[in-house]
């Protein structure tokens, strides 16, 4: 509904209220108040007279700041896509990107905070790393007006972060090397003799490992992983490398890779497909404002943009799985019928212990 339609609506309501020059002032005031309350009840709050001026204030402040520095573990292409569209929408804010891997990003941010050289305005990193930065007091409490579109578990109950997207850990297989009926359909299937030395997995999948133990129970989960280690998997640093390895035919299957990586390969005609193995572990990627953001208004404006329906629709076009409830992924199968077990960021409290356990079981560093 545009401004003209809203104005016309106001005119009709006032006409029905019979407000005239001869109407007593007290009566007019009551009628006007009644109309305002009525409109606030039937129109979304971002329309006339009910509009929250928070965004206007952020825009005013961002114009004075003129800059926003984004620290992100997202890939270069997706980061640049988000920043480009944000600058098109808010041309008075010039953006700067610092893209690092999740662990290096955390270390960089912590080091700058200790040195009191605050450069970052906004951070987007893995869930466990975000929890650590929050615990160390390095994040600003900011509840975006867009956060109401995100479900429990996908936003911080204390108001420090909201999840932008999730990664679902699945099995990938080469469609030229395996028939559909030959593909493992459960984690237990991976323990069969024919898969020994025949699959790849991510070498530092600590959140996946820890959440799997929480879902299945530690004793049962550890027994599974010890038997899985005996299958002699080949390790790669990241999910995309595992998927690429399978697509190249070096292994028929790979595990704990991201479904979105596989879908991306499929668009390039790679011979790959994926299967969700229960429990399907999902890892979060929250976005937050730095506690010492040099450009706090521009930072909040950017967070609001990323979390908005427009921002999430853009993120979806990058073949991501948006965490916003009213934005489905571009490939419906990425979420349809799948029960995700999201790795809570607070699992970071046990991160070091279980990282060592993972390393000891698989003899990998």
Assess contact for 166 and 217: CB atoms under 8 A. Answer: no
Contact indicator for 333, 200 with CB cutoff of 8 Å: no
d(CA 106, CA 92): 29
pTM (2 d.p.): 0.81
Tokens standing for 198? Answer: 């025949």
User: Is residue 150 within 8 Å of 342, Cβ to Cβ?
Assistant: no
- Cα distance between the two ends of the chain: 57
- Sorted by sequence, the CB contacts under 8 Å of residue 88 that are 6+ apart come out as none
List pLDDT tens digits, range 93-142: 999 999 999 999 999 999 999 999 999 999 999 999 999 999 999 999 99
Give 101's contacts (C-beta < 8 A, 6+ positions apart): 73
Take residue 126 and report the two structure tokens written for it. 């893995």
The dihedral built from the CA positions of residue 174, 176, 178 and 181, taken in this order, carries a sign that is positive
Give residue 364's pLDDT: 87
pLDDT of the residue at 99: 97
Q: Can you give the length of the chain in residues?
A: 365
* Residue 52: predicted pLDDT: 67
49-57 contact pairs (CB < 8 A, 24+) = 52/145, 54/145, 55/145, 55/301, 55/304, 57/297
Under DSSP, the state recorded for 223 is H
DSSP string, 290-329: ETT-SSHHHHHHHHHHHHSHHHHHHHHHTT-EE-STT---
**14 membership: H or E segment, kind and range:** helix 3-16
In the chain, which stretches have pLDDT less than 70? 1-52
Looking at residue 68, its pLDDT comes to 98
């Amino acid at each position: 509904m545009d401004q003209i339609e809203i104005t016309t609506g106001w005119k009709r309501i006032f006409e029905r209220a019979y407000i005239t020059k001869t109407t007593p002032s007290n009566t007019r005031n009551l009628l006007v108040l009644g109309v305002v309350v009525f409109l606030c009840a039937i129109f979304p709050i971002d329309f006339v007279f009910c509009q929250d001026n928070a965004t206007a204030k952020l825009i005013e402040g961002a114009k004075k700041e003129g800059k926003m520095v984004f620290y992100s573990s997202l890939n270069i292409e997706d980061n640049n896509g988000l920043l480009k569209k944000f600058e098109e929408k808010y041309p008075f804010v010039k953006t700067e990107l610092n893209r690092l891997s999740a662990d290096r990003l955390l270390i960089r941010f912590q080091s700058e905070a200790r040195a009191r050289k605050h450069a970052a305005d906004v951070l987007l990193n893995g869930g466990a790393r975000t929890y650590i930065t929050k615990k160390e007091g390095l994040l600003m409490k900011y509840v975006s007006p867009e956060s109401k579109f995100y479900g429990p578990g996908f936003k911080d109950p204390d108001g420090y972060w909201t999840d932008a997207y999730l990664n679902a850990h699945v099995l990938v297989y080469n469609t030229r090397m395996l028939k559909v009926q030959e593909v493992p359909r459960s984690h237990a299937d991976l323990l069969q003799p024919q898969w020994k030395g025949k699959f790849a997995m991510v070498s530092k999948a600590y959140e996946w490992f820890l959440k799997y133990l929480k879902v299945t129970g530690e004793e049962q989960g550890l027994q599974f992983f010890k038997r899985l280690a005996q299958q002699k998997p080949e390790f790669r640093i990241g999910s995309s490398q595992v998927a690429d390895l399978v697509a190249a035919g070096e292994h028929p299957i790979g595990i704990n890779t991201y479904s979105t990586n596989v879908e991306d390969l499929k668009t390039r005609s790679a011979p790959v497909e994926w299967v969700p193995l229960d429990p399907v572990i999902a890892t979060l990627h929250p976005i937050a404002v730095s506690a010492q953001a040099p450009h706090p208004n521009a930072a909040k404006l950017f967070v609001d943009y990323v979390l908005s329906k427009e921002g999430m629709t853009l993120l979806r076009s990058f073949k991501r799985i948006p965490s916003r409830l009213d934005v489905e992924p571009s490939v419906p199968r990425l979420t349809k019928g799948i029960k995700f077990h999201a790795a809570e960021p607070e699992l970071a409290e046990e991160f070091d212990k279980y990282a060592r356990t993972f390393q000891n079981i698989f003899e990998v560093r």
